[in-house]
Amino acid sequence: MMNRRDAMLGGAAFGAAAVLSGPVAAANNARRAWDFTFTSLDGMPMPLSQWQGKVLLVVNTASFCGFTPQYEGLVSLWQDYRDRGLIVIGAPSTDFRQEYDEASEIKDFCEFTYGVDFPLTAPVHVIGREADPFFKWAAAETGHRVRWNFNKYLIGRDGQVISWMSSRTEPTSAQMRDAIEAALAAPAA
């Protein structure tokens, strides 16, 4: 039997995307993305609940990585879908030693190099015992922990994780756009 997320995504297994179903999805059923708060790159609280009912794409980012040019694709997604309810969130991380140490350097790099104007968090840990609670939750929900920079978690309008996509999945790929289109078409919970 196909669950709601499988039906919403057309029952397709999106290659590198992990569509949730079964016991992994049920493991943390009590929590939703709206329960988490980051700190913004400017040092202000950034509760995900401010975007309740929207679709979130949360990506761990880095300034000095072979995947850093994916910022261009993330900006493109943000520009193409924000008016329809997609919020792209970049979460810079130094866990793989490929990020600036200072928030101001990250902000300048993102804005001046790639024109990033979507929300960015302050640098966070995305792996290990010190991982930010959001990333621990998302990994438990999907069965896919962050393995490198530019892993992507797509969150539905209901605050639940729809899918995980690896660093190799380009933001503007048909796979990513199809998943976003399906999530945006789903009714808010």
**Total-model pTM:** 0.83
Q: Give per-residue pLDDT as tens, 37-70.
A: 999 999 999 999 999 999 999 999 999 998 899 9
Q: What is the pLDDT of residue 21?
A: 37
Active site residues: 65
Structural domain includes residue 97 = yes
- For tokens 């569509």, the residue is 19
Q: What is the pLDDT of residue 189?
A: 65
174-185 and 70-81 helices, crossing angle to 10°: 30
Q: What is the pLDDT of residue 187?
A: 82
Strand duo 152-155 + 161-165: pairing: antiparallel
Structural domain includes residue 11 = no
Helices (H), the chain: 4-8, 22-27, 70-81, 103-114, 133-142, 174-185
Domain count, the chain: 1
Structural domain includes residue 2 = no
Structural domain includes residue 8 = no
CATH code: domain of residue 75? 3.40.30.10
Structural domain includes residue 1 = no
Q: Which domain holds residue 85?
A: 32-185
Residue 92 CB-half CA count within 13 A: 31
Residue count (the chain): 189
Q: What is the mean pLDDT of each run of 10 residues along the chain (189 residues)?
A: 35 36 38 95 96 97 92 97 98 87 90 95 94 95 92 96 95 97 88
Structural domain includes residue 21 = no
Structural domain includes residue 136 = yes
3-state SS assignment for residue 40: strand
Structural domain includes residue 9 = no
